Amino acid sequence: MKAMSDDTQPAAVRARGIVKSFGTGDTQVTVLKGIDLDVYLGELLLLVGESGGGKTTLLSAIAGILDIDEGDIDVFGVPLSTLPAGKRTTFRGQTMGFIYQQFNLLPVLTAAENVAVPLLIQKAARPEALHRARIMLDRVGLGDRAEFLPKNLSGGQQQRVAIARALVNEPRLLICDEPTAALDGPNGQKIMELLREVGRSPDRCVIVVTHDSRIFHFGDRMANLTDGRIVGIERIKQEGTA
């Protein structure tokens, strides 16, 4: 089944009228000026726009790690603003995975241990968590690097570890901020292929912020965030399946 952006289907992420400012008085800047955005299950949504336009701010808001000034965000039907901070953190741990430009792996942990961290946070037993982490590393093609420290892995490999870590909890929403920015062309393509595959699964969706036009074709839809507003959403033509 290929759900894509069927408008009859409820949105996985539903943002309405998001406003967010930083600072106060003269130095106050309104970064998000009323954002409406829907993300559907089974799709990979690209979020593009000029630097400083507010893409990261929007992602943080959707993740529930940044409080907004106005508007509502529902994630899988749960209004984030109604959740107290502790519940929101747990909810995030159970439903979302994150991938960053800077990987953010723990340097003292091996690849497998890094991948196991979200499970450990959910209080899984260590042997069980490590076992599942190794399976996940296998799936991103790093089965033979499980005991390596991040510093002994290439950038592309580190990002694959980060993806394995983001996926190990079976999150339904994957949030990626410039996942290929620190990687060269071929490595970026490999990472996007992986994310594409994740986004295809009918009970998941992926949001990818990027500047990199070489990876645009991996998206299903592309939203353009400029000057604090979504100025256009276009469907991307798929050139066959990857």
Ligand X SMILES: Nc1ncnc2c1ncn2[C@@H]1O[C@H](COP(=O)(O)OP(=O)(O)OP(=O)(O)O)[C@@H](O)[C@H]1O
Residue ranges that bind Mg ion, judged by CB under 5 A: 56
Which pair of tokens denotes residue 123?
Answer: 């209080």
Nearest approach, Cβ of residue 57 and ligand X (Å): 3
Q: How many CB atoms lie within 10 A of CB 163?
A: 26
Which residue, among 227, 229, 212, 231, has the nearest Cα to 46 in the 3D structure?
212
What single-letter amino acid sits at 168?
Answer: V
Is residue 55 near ligand X by the rule CB under 6 A? yes
> What is the footprint of another protein within residues 79-138 (CB under 8 A)?
86, 89-90, 92-94, 98, 100-102, 104, 106-109, 113, 117-118, 120-122, 126
Out of 37, 41, 59, 208, point to the residue binding another protein (CB under 8 A): 59
Q: Could you tell me how far CA 19 lies from the centroid of its own chain?
A: 21
Per the DSSP assignment, residues forming a β-bridge with 225 are 230
Nearest approach, Cβ of residue 213 and another protein (Å): 21
Distance (Å, rounded) from C-alpha 195 to C-alpha 203?
A: 14
Nearest approach, Cβ of residue 53 and Mg ion (Å): 9
Distance (Å, rounded) from C-alpha 122 to C-alpha 22?
A: 33
Out of 14, 46, 48, 54, point to the residue binding ligand X (CB under 6 A): 54
181 binds, among Mg ion, another protein, ligand X, none (CB under 5 to 8 A by kind): none
Is residue 21 near another protein by the rule CB under 8 A? no
Which residue, among 47, 35, 37, has the nearest Cα to 220 in the 3D structure?
47
CA distances from 202 to 38, 108, 165, 194 (A): 16, 36, 20, 15
Binding range to ligand X, per CB under 6 A, among 50-58, 85-93, 122-130, 188-196: 50-58
182 binds, among ligand X, another protein, Mg ion, none (CB under 5 to 8 A by kind): none
- List residues near ligand X by CB under 6 A: 22-23, 29, 31, 49, 51-57
